[in-house]
Amino acid sequence: MTDNPDAPRVTPEMVDLEISRELYHVPEGTTLTICTLELQNGFTVTGESPCADPADFDLEEGQQRAKTKAREKVFLLLAFRLRDEAHSQETRRNEAREKLQGSKAAQSDPLLRAALEGPQGYAKRFLEDRCAIDGKDSTFTASHVAVTAFREWLALNTGNAWPEHLARKALLLVDQIDGKQIRYVKLQNTGWTGFKLKASK
């Protein structure tokens, strides 16, 4: 399960929109209800609802159960579609990134270089601005202060302020600047109150 609340996901509404038609059928002499759902692209999925005792057979209830099972298959198809689209986009981004990384533009533009490195690249660029690499400390009074400063830096330099949880995660991915280690430490023993950024000599 993803820890990103902004990640795309399949919703019941998406399943509803994908269905263009529903058909029901009970084979003669049986208590088996079959639901066929036709999707927008013409593809069909089915769901079945058997009834063990003919005395208990209820057509409406059988249709509801069969449709529920058919909808579960639609859900899986849509989940595959979302994941496949995300994978294709990531593949294209990686291919473009590889082409740009060795370019002169990437070497001369720190922000472009950061963008090519992803979230960690932006966080590293921010820390390079805020954390001296000569061994001096750059201290934030609390973790949320550092995250807020990073989000403001992003808004100023890229025009996009990330959600707080993404900014915090990106900062914690950086462990060194120009080969010099960054130390994240608690400021108090009573609990997490922030972190200190120090580029060791």
Query: Over the stretch 154-184, which tens digit does the pLDDT of each residue have?
Result: 888 877 778 888 888 787 777 655 555 555 5
Q: Percent of the chain, pLDDT > 70? A: 64
- pLDDT for 21 equals 95
The mean of the pLDDT values for the chain is: 76
Angle formed by the axes of helices 110-117 and 119-130, nearest 10°? 140
Most distant CA pair in the chain, distance: 85
Instruction: Please tell me the distance from the alpha carbon of residue 85 to that of residue 147, in angstroms, as a whole number.
Output: 31
Rounded to an integer, the average pLDDT of 41-54 is 95
CATH, range 12-98: 3.30.160
pTM for the predicted model, two decimal places: 0.51
Which residue blocks in the chain are alpha helix, DSSP H?
Answer: 12-18, 59-101, 104-108, 110-117, 119-130, 143-158, 164-173
Q: Measure the CA–CA gap between 101 and 99, rounded to whole angstroms.
A: 6
Scanning the structure block, which residue is given the tokens 């595959």? 80
| pLDDT greater at residue 166 or residue 75 | 75
Closest Cα to residue 170, out of 121, 137, 112, 99? 121
Instruction: Look at 184 and 30; give whichever has higher pLDDT.
Output: 30
pLDDT band at 110 (very low <50, low <70, confident <90, very high): low
Instruction: Give the pLDDT mean for 60-89.
Output: 92
> For position 182, what pLDDT does the model report?
54
